[in-house]
Amino acid sequence: MDRNSEEARRGRRIALIIAGIGLFWILITAIGSEYGWSQRTRAFFDLLVLAGFGGALWMTYQLWRSRRNDKD
């Protein structure tokens, strides 16, 4: 398999993860508002989403480093 197609696949996967996390955050915020969840519960989900975005940022950094190393 071509190295560029593997990197492109990883990039698409990261993009889908970020989009999924964003949609989950919007959905969970709406559900929490509708059912009157406590601020503590909402903060838990906010932290969970923040950790997901942090993980996606880390994966993006790893992809960038691998592309940069391949150039050299």
Domain locations along the chain: 9-66
Read off the pTM: 0.85
* Distance set, CA 67 to CA 14, 25, 42, 61 (Å): 15, 30, 38, 10
SS3 at position 4: helix
- Residues 19-52: pLDDT tens digits? 999 999 999 999 999 999 999 999 999 999 999 9
Closest CA to 52 of 44, 29, 40: 44
Q: How many angstroms separate the CA atoms of 15 and 59, rounded?
A: 10
